[in-house]
Amino acid sequence: KAGVTQTPRYLIKTRGQQVTLSCSPISGHRSVSWYQQTPGQGLQFLFEYFSETQRNKGNFPGRFSGRQFSNSRSEMNVSTLELGDSALYLCASRSQETQYFGPGTRLLVL
């Protein structure tokens, strides 16, 4: 089976812009979660989707949003980008008790 794929892998944006990141989970997995990784804050949970519904949300401002499609692919959107949004954004798909992570999208906000 193919693993979790994320696009794009690298992205450079400027402050105030918005960005959309995409994640395709492992075939057959219906649950997708997103995490933000920064040197200062480490790995932090953003949100989780299952069958197109958000089931859980981390402590992030409303500028961070997501959605899931009927084929389980997920997107996350960050509006009005700030310098502090520069991070590695990781997507994970779940099978039973385990989460498998993708390679991440590295976002740089200038």
Partner 1 sequence: GEDVEQSLFLSVREGDSSVINCTYTDSSSTYLYWYKQEPGAGLQLLTYIFSNMDMKQDQRLTVLLNKKDKHLSLRIADTQTGDSAIYFCAERGSGGYNKLIFGAGTRLAVHP
**Residues found near partner 1 in the complex (CB under 8 A):** 4, 31, 33, 35, 42-45, 48, 50, 55-56, 58, 90, 92, 94, 97-104
> Considering the complex, what minimum distance in angstroms separates the CB of residue 17 from partner 1?
24
> Considering the complex, what minimum distance in angstroms separates the CB of residue 43 from partner 1?
4
> Considering the complex, what minimum distance in angstroms separates the CB of residue 16 from partner 1?
28
Beta pairing partners, 103: none
Nearer to partner 1, 38 or 77 (CB): 38
CB 12 within 8 A of CB 85: no
Residue ranges with strand state E in the chain: 5-7, 10-13, 19-24, 31-38, 42-50, 53-57, 64-68, 74-78, 87-95, 98-101, 105-109
3-state secondary structure of 19: strand
Nearer to partner 1, 16 or 61 (CB): 61
Nearer to partner 1, 70 or 96 (CB): 96
